[in-house]
A = this chain, B = another copy of it.
Amino acid sequence: MSFLDRIRTCHRWRPERYRPFVIDGTRYGWIDAEFAARLARFPDVFATEERAVHLRPELDSFDARSAAVADAMARLRYDGALPYWRGELYPVTNRWDAPPVMALERGAVPLFGVRAYGLHLNGLVRTDDGIAVWVGKRAASRKVAPGRWDQMVAGGQPIGLSVRDNMIKECAEEAGVPAALAATAIPAGLLAYVCEQPDGLRDDIAFLYDLWLPPDFVPTNTDGEVARFERWSLDKAVAAVRDSESFKFNCALVMIDLFVRHGALTPEDDDYQAIVEGLQGRV
């Protein structure tokens, strides 16, 4: 096992299994044959063709699209076809700074293969022995990746909330970080990846933050999503990510990026160039 295995996992999908999901002439997602067949039940909303699924052009505004699709999704949920239903709306947009063309139930996002935005925050501590990192074990009750290791704080981007405001909110909910401390988190870039997961096709943009914590800070989960937190040396984290699949797939990617940005990997290490290029999406 290796860092490259972890990276490849995040960039593995079979384009030939998907057809474009098109709104007003622009592709916003990728839909497989099974989900296309389900959408064909709603001919007033979707024009399902062999080579593409189009949102009906009569749905020509954010509100009209969002309402018509929400109605279809509610019916699919009733039929048990949306097992990852979240009751949370995501924006549909290919660029975070562009106005979304519609809103979409979060649990349907990977079925449409629509780009999803989220944030991952590394909880870091400077110690006499170097950098330490707080990691959280995902609760056994979670539908996605139960029991896997995760960043101290991570969360999806719902519609209508800035990344920074969402970061501060998630810091409070997931790890009990006071807002004044969370506000000192440093944006550190983003990772982009596309891969097939049990809930569908994940086309994700993960915004990254580093939060430097006081040595005596101990995270406390308040929303039940984290079973427990542990504080690890960077060396321990390097070994865990490299030698096991104990981290959630995309959280491993965020860890490897952390290792690269803070010098836990160096140009003298095997595969350094391939690892960094892999993080950059060139696998």
Contacts and interface: CB of A to CB of B under 8 A. Distances in A.
Interface in A246-283: 260-263, 265-268, 270-274, 276-277, 279-282
9 contacts: A95-B273, A97-B273, A162-B267, A162-B268, A164-B267, A187-B267, A188-B261, A192-B280, A192-B282
Contacts of A279: 189, 280
Nearest to A205: B273
Interface of A: 95-97, 162-164, 186-190, 192, 205, 207, 260-263, 265-268, 270-274, 276-277, 279-282
Contacts of A280: 192, 279-282
Given A96-B267, A163-B266, A188-B262, 5 more contacts: A96-B272, A163-B267, A190-B272, A192-B282, A280-B281
Nearest to A264: B187
A47 B205 CA distance: 46
Nearest to A162: B268
Contacts of A261: 188-189, 261
A-side interface mostly: mixed
Q: Which 8 A-B pairs have the closest CB atoms?
A: A280-B280, A186-B263, A163-B267, A187-B266, A187-B263, A189-B260, A190-B276, A96-B273
A21 to B, nearest CB: 20
A276 B97 contact: no
Contact of A268 (B163, B186, B265): B163
A83 to B, nearest CB: 30
Task: Give the interface centre of A189, A261, A266, A271 by most chain B CB atoms within 10 Å.
Answer: A189
A189 B277 CA distance: 9
Contacts of A164: 266-268
A250 to B, nearest CB: 16
Nearest to A209: B263
A276 B189 contact: yes
